[in-house]
Amino acid sequence: MTTTEPTTDTAGRKGDGIVVLIQNNAARRLSIKTANETACNLLGYAAGELDDRDLAEILSPKLAEALMEDLEFDDDAPDVGEMLARQRDFKLRHRMGQELALPFTISRQMAQGHDACFQLVLPNERDNRAQQQLKDFLKLNLEGQQQLDPSTGLPDRTTAEMYLRVLNTYIASNGMQAAFVAIRIDRHDKSLARYGKDACVELLKHVANCCKSTFRTEDVVCALSDHTLGLVLLDVSRESARVVLNRLRWNVRTHRIVFGGKSDFSNTISLSFDMLDQHRGDGLFDRCEEAITSLDKETRNHLIELGQ
């Protein structure tokens, strides 16, 4: 077992197109810091050709115009990440002029000096086909069996355990990699005593929403208890899982919320993870959960990597 400290690495998941965006409020500029080879190929550019270009060059004209009209370039106003995440008509522009309606996620990253930084993730077609195949398999094997946790509306503990068993069968025959993550809300006992049970459920739902905004739509978040979540990351290597989980810790820690009478409440989480495969899958759930429950109650913002 190893523990990992925070990192600012922004590497992507296998096959993803990654575009790193910079919002410079002083210059009122949205720019592309860098785009990986997958993203460049998807949009018709050579590797490195999009670096330091204006973001508007790869957005549809309609989206670029709306963004520049509505974005206030103020530290207290909604940023480009929030605004893009709300777009229903998100389209990127290929170099040859075609407009591409693509699935995407966007998350805030560590600031670059005084400028806000964001990561735009674009799954490729290979991923889309693999995801659909997996969805069909899970639907066939789990339809009608999912149960929801009444407090959070998330799949419950029983469903999480069943999901892992079914997924392990799929992975064993299809060669996909996946990781299981147990997530603990830090200092739960103190929050429970100070703010009460209902408020702590809101903290759990806040972290679940951070997971959903950080990861792909097909990654599954479940409620394991009143202060723990389970997360399944699909089609991910150990190295990429480590990167995206560190990103999640950073997102939760820096995302201040209105809570407990405060307008800038900050929270942290601790996580443990291991890879799901046919040899270790059966005990994975218990090992990951035990790793975070055995942490000292005062430990905060910790990542435990099992199976090393």
pLDDT tens per residue, range 45-69? 998 999 999 999 999 999 999 998 9
- Alpha-helical regions (H) of the chain: 37-42, 61-70, 80-85, 125-142, 157-174, 188-195, 197-214, 238-254, 281-293
Q: How many CA atoms does the CB half-sphere of 259 hold within 13 Å? A: 21
- For residue 8, the model assigns a pLDDT of 37
Does an H or E element contain 105, and which?
strand 105-112
Specify which residues 19 forms β-bridges with: 35, 120
Q: How far apart are CA 6 and CA 102, in angstroms?
A: 31
Residue-range domains of the chain with CATH: 17-122 (3.30.450.20), 125-305 (3.30.70.270)
Least confident of 4-13, 23-32, 247-256, 274-283: 4-13
Assess whether pLDDT exceeds 90 at residue 192.
yes
* Percentage of the chain exceeding pLDDT 70: 91
pTM of the model: 0.65
Tell me how crowded residue 124 is: count the other CB atoms within 10 A of its CB. 17
3-state SS, residue 97:
coil
- For residue 237, the model assigns a pLDDT of 86
The better pLDDT of the pair 66, 1 is held by 66
pLDDT tens per residue, range 169-180? 888 777 778 899
From the list 213, 211, 133, the residue with the least C-alpha distance to 179 is: 211
Instruction: Write b or e for each residue in 152-177: b if 16 or more Cβ atoms lie within 10 A of its Cβ, otherwise e.
Output: bebbbbebbebbbeebbebbeeeebb
Contacts of 174 (CB under 8 A, 6+ apart): 133
Instruction: Write b or e for each residue in 64-74: b if 16 or more Cβ atoms lie within 10 A of its Cβ, otherwise e.
Output: beebeeebebe
The better pLDDT of the pair 7, 255 is held by 255
pLDDT tens per residue, range 86-115? 888 899 999 988 898 888 889 888 888 889
Average pLDDT, the chain: 86
Contacts of 296 (CB under 8 A, 6+ apart): none
From the list 183, 21, 185, the residue with the least C-alpha distance to 108 is: 21
The better pLDDT of the pair 261, 61 is held by 61
Name the residue type at position 273: F
Contact between 301 and 216 (Cβ < 8 Å): no
From the list 273, 278, 307, 181, the residue with the least C-alpha distance to 232 is: 181
CA distances, 146 to each of 142, 208, 263, 287 (Å)? 7, 18, 36, 23
Q: How far apart are CA 14 and CA 67, in angstroms?
A: 29
Q: How many CA atoms does the CB half-sphere of 232 hold within 13 Å? A: 28
Assess whether pLDDT exceeds 60 at residue 12.
no
Assess whether pLDDT exceeds 80 at residue 232.
yes
Assess whether pLDDT exceeds 80 at residue 279.
no
- For residue 96, the model assigns a pLDDT of 86
Q: How far apart are CA 134 and CA 219, in angstroms?
A: 11
